Amino acid sequence: MTFSSSLANVPRPLVLDTSVLINLHACSYGDRVLTAVANDIVVPDIVAAELGHETSRLNGDDSFLHSLIDRGKVHVASMTDVEYEPSPHPSATVANGYRRRLPRRIIRRR
C-alpha cells in the first residue's frame, strides 16, 4: 500500500481548528490519524477553549482533545492576531469561500 502526503518533507507544525478536531473525534479514527502524523500538532488556545463549552463536553470532543494533550501528541499554543497572516495561496480557501488564515509562527506553548 502506498500513499501520498502533503506533509511529506514539511517539518512545520500542523495547526488544527475546532471543526477538524470535532470531525476527527466523530469519525472514531481521529486518534489513529493524528498518531500517524509525524509533524508537531498544535491547537490554538482559542480552539481548546471552544471545546470546553457544554456541548463539546457532552459529545466527548473536550475529553478527546485532553487525552491527546495528556499523551503529548497535541500541544496548545497561545497565538495573537499578529502571529496569523492570510494565506498567499489562492487554493487556501475552504468550501464556504472563507480564506484560511495560516500561522506565521508559533511563539508560545502552554
| Chain segment 17-62, per-residue pLDDT in tens | 899 999 999 999 999 999 988 888 999 888 899 999 988 999 999 9
Quote the percentage of the chain above a pLDDT of 70: 64
- Residue 38, all three cell numbers: 509525524
Question: Which range of residues forms the domain containing residue 42?
Answer: 14-109
The pTM of the full predicted model, rounded to 2 decimals, is 0.69
Instruction: Report the largest interatomic distance among the alpha carbons of the chain, rounded to a whole angstrom.
Output: 42
Q: Does residue 1 sit in helix, strand or coil?
A: coil
Count of domains forming the chain: 1
In a domain, 5, yes or no: no
In a domain, 4, yes or no: no
SS3 25: helix
Question: How many other CB atoms are there within 10 angstroms of residue 86's CB atom?
Answer: 10
Tell me, yes or no, whether 41 lies in a domain.
yes
Neighbouring residues of 82: CB distance < 8 A, sequence distance ≥ 6: none
